[in-house]
Copies of this chain bind each other. A is one copy, B any other.
């Protein structure tokens, strides 16, 4: 259920097709149903206009499939469903849940994302551009890309433009960077890309450090610290490898 759905209910009330009591009941009923191990929060979509999301890591394939089924069975809801950090086993379990919609599920192995696209409505106002520094940052960039797409945004990408070959980035200054309303900037190692990108554009830059690197990269800490200390002032940061979170923030911004 997203804000449009809610508006429909309210208009049904206004037009007399639905009694306030019945409306209330339906709204109250929505919040979260108890699956025993997790409360599926249908209100979150209401509150934030997001797609429904399941974080698969640490859950069994069966648990994920249960949650997805509950989401699919909700009558009034048509928003997209996104499962992140999923293994092929999780994907198999999800595919076996009920009916046609689940069979439309697609698996993106690089990032471990499962998408069930039910709405192609675009709610974001501009383009979100996902920029990444190296080949190994692509899994995180893909998670960001798919999340932003599933949340109703137009999304573009610019990959493998690390700062040690600065001309690669500069080449796209007009064609890509200047066109974006929000930029998601994914980088591991020294995490310098958001500073350079931030200095080239007027749009907000959401920086995602990745755990790519070795030795003193400390699983992404070096990149994280680099981004937090960015000398460009239009940069904000999310957690290491958190492509999903970056897309959520970017999506919020793009909807404003």
A233: B residues at CB distance < 8 A? 48, 50, 53, 164, 244-245, 248-249
Q: Which residue of B lies closest to A126 (CB)?
A: B256
Contact between B234 and A249, CB atoms less than 8 A apart = yes
Contact between B168 and A231, CB atoms less than 8 A apart = no
Known contacts A48-B202, A196-B164: does B237 contact A228 (CB below 8 Å)? yes
User: What's the minimum C-beta distance from A152 to chain B, rounded to whole angstroms?
Assistant: 13
User: What's the minimum C-beta distance from A226 to chain B, rounded to whole angstroms?
Assistant: 4
A166 at the interface (CB under 8 A from B): yes
Cβ-neighbour of A256 out of B181, B224, B225 (below 8 A): B181
Known contacts A48-B234, A234-B252: does B192 contact A215 (CB below 8 Å)? no
User: What's the minimum C-beta distance from A27 to chain B, rounded to whole angstroms?
Assistant: 13
A144 at the interface (CB under 8 A from B): no
A106 at the interface (CB under 8 A from B): no
User: What's the minimum C-beta distance from A227 to chain B, rounded to whole angstroms?
Assistant: 7
Contact between B189 and A44, CB atoms less than 8 A apart = no
A166: B residues at CB distance < 8 A? 166, 170, 196, 199-200
Within 8 A of B (CB), among A166-208: 166-168, 170, 181-182, 189-192, 195-196, 198-204, 206
Cβ-neighbour of A231 out of B133, B196, B232 (below 8 A): B133
Contact between A236 and B236, CB atoms less than 8 A apart = yes
Give the distance in Å from the alpha carbon of A50 to the alpha carbon of B246 in the complex: 24
Contact between B204 and A249, CB atoms less than 8 A apart = yes
Q: Which residue of B lies closest to A212 (CB)?
A: B58
A244: B residues at CB distance < 8 A? 233
A68 at the interface (CB under 8 A from B): no
Cβ-neighbour of A58 out of B136, B242, B255 (below 8 A): B136
Known contacts A237-B237, A237-B238, A244-B233: does B228 contact A225 (CB below 8 Å)? no
A230 at the interface (CB under 8 A from B): yes
A213: B residues at CB distance < 8 A? 229
Give the distance in Å from the alpha carbon of A136 to the alpha carbon of B168 in the complex: 30
Give the distance in Å from the alpha carbon of A256 to the alpha carbon of B252 in the complex: 12
A219: B residues at CB distance < 8 A? 215
Q: List 8 A-B contacts (CB under 8 A).
A: A37-B159, A44-B165, A196-B196, A203-B252, A214-B239, A214-B240, A215-B239, A221-B225
Given contacts A39-B160, A190-B191, A191-B226, 7 further A-B contacts (CB under 8 A): A47-B201, A48-B233, A190-B195, A190-B231, A217-B239, A222-B228, A253-B253
